[in-house]
Amino acid sequence: MAYFRVTLLRSAIGLPKKTHGALAALGLRRRMNTVYHPVSQDVAGMIMKVKELVDVQEVEQPLTKTEMREMRRPDPGFYVEKRAGLGR
Protein backbone atom coordinates (compact mmCIF):
# COMPACT_ATOMS: atom_id res chain seq x y z
CA MET A 1 0.00 0.00 0.00
CA ALA A 2 1.32 3.40 -0.98
CA TYR A 3 1.58 6.33 1.39
CA PHE A 4 2.22 10.03 1.06
CA ARG A 5 5.09 11.25 3.22
CA VAL A 6 4.27 14.91 3.91
CA THR A 7 6.78 17.26 5.57
CA LEU A 8 5.91 20.82 6.52
CA LEU A 9 8.70 23.09 5.25
CA ARG A 10 7.10 26.53 5.41
CA SER A 11 4.90 27.82 8.20
CA ALA A 12 1.32 28.90 7.47
CA ILE A 13 1.55 31.97 9.73
CA GLY A 14 -0.47 34.79 8.21
CA LEU A 15 -2.14 32.58 5.59
CA PRO A 16 -5.92 32.01 5.41
CA LYS A 17 -7.74 29.93 8.00
CA LYS A 18 -8.44 27.23 5.43
CA THR A 19 -4.70 26.65 4.99
CA HIS A 20 -4.27 26.25 8.75
CA GLY A 21 -7.26 23.91 8.74
CA ALA A 22 -5.76 21.71 6.01
CA LEU A 23 -2.48 21.48 7.95
CA ALA A 24 -4.35 20.58 11.15
CA ALA A 25 -6.30 17.93 9.27
CA LEU A 26 -3.07 16.47 7.94
CA GLY A 27 -1.67 16.46 11.49
CA LEU A 28 1.15 18.91 10.77
CA ARG A 29 1.78 21.13 13.79
CA ARG A 30 5.24 22.59 13.29
CA ARG A 31 7.89 23.00 10.62
CA MET A 32 9.91 19.91 9.62
CA ASN A 33 7.15 17.73 11.06
CA THR A 34 6.55 14.58 8.97
CA VAL A 35 3.32 12.60 8.68
CA TYR A 36 2.29 9.60 6.60
CA HIS A 37 -1.11 9.24 4.99
CA PRO A 38 -2.42 6.54 2.64
CA VAL A 39 -2.72 7.65 -0.99
CA SER A 40 -6.33 8.72 -1.45
CA GLN A 41 -8.30 11.49 -3.05
CA ASP A 42 -9.15 13.33 0.15
CA VAL A 43 -5.51 13.40 1.29
CA ALA A 44 -4.49 14.58 -2.20
CA GLY A 45 -7.02 17.40 -1.96
CA MET A 46 -5.59 18.49 1.40
CA ILE A 47 -2.03 18.39 0.02
CA MET A 48 -3.15 20.51 -2.95
CA LYS A 49 -4.42 23.14 -0.49
CA VAL A 50 -0.98 23.45 1.13
CA LYS A 51 1.26 22.53 -1.82
CA GLU A 52 3.40 25.67 -1.42
CA LEU A 53 4.27 24.77 2.18
CA VAL A 54 5.03 21.05 2.12
CA ASP A 55 7.37 18.49 0.63
CA VAL A 56 5.66 15.31 -0.58
CA GLN A 57 7.07 11.86 -1.43
CA GLU A 58 5.30 8.64 -2.26
CA VAL A 59 6.58 5.77 -0.09
CA GLU A 60 5.66 2.11 0.30
CA GLN A 61 5.65 1.91 4.09
CA PRO A 62 5.24 4.57 6.78
CA LEU A 63 8.14 4.91 9.20
CA THR A 64 7.68 5.33 12.94
CA LYS A 65 9.11 8.29 14.82
CA THR A 66 11.95 6.15 16.22
CA GLU A 67 12.88 4.82 12.78
CA MET A 68 12.98 8.34 11.31
CA ARG A 69 15.18 9.43 14.21
CA GLU A 70 17.54 6.48 13.67
CA MET A 71 17.87 7.43 9.99
CA ARG A 72 18.98 10.95 10.96
CA ARG A 73 21.65 9.68 13.37
CA PRO A 74 25.14 10.39 11.98
CA ASP A 75 27.76 7.68 11.51
CA PRO A 76 29.71 7.45 14.82
CA GLY A 77 33.02 6.83 12.98
CA PHE A 78 34.02 3.77 15.03
CA TYR A 79 32.83 0.27 15.84
CA VAL A 80 33.29 -1.80 19.02
CA GLU A 81 35.57 -4.85 18.50
CA LYS A 82 35.40 -6.18 22.01
CA ARG A 83 33.73 -5.04 25.22
CA ALA A 84 35.99 -4.63 28.23
CA GLY A 85 35.39 -6.77 31.31
CA LEU A 86 33.72 -9.67 29.54
CA GLY A 87 36.78 -11.97 29.42
CA ARG A 88 36.18 -13.71 32.81
Partner 1 sequence: MFGPFRASSPLSGGLLWKIPWRLSSPQKYRHRLRLRRVDKVVSIVDSALAKKGLSTKGLERWKDEMPKEQEMLPKDKYTVFDRKEKKYRKGIHKVPKWTRVSQRLNPPGY
Q: 18 Cβ partners below 8 Å, 6+ apart?
A: 49
Euclidean distance between CA atoms 54 and 78, whole angstroms:
36
- In terms of CB distance, is 2 or 68 closer to partner 1? 2
Nearer to partner 1, 1 or 84 (CB): 1
Find the shortest distance in angstroms from Cβ 63 to partner 1: 17
Q: Tell me the closest approach of the beta carbon of residue 65 to partner 1, in angstroms.
A: 23
Nearest to 29 by CA among 5, 56, 4, 8: 8
CA-closest candidate to residue 27, choices 1, 4, 61: 4
Nearer to partner 1, 29 or 69 (CB): 29
- What residues make contact with partner 1 under the rule CB under 8 A? 2, 4, 10, 12, 14-15, 39-41, 44-45, 47-49, 51-58
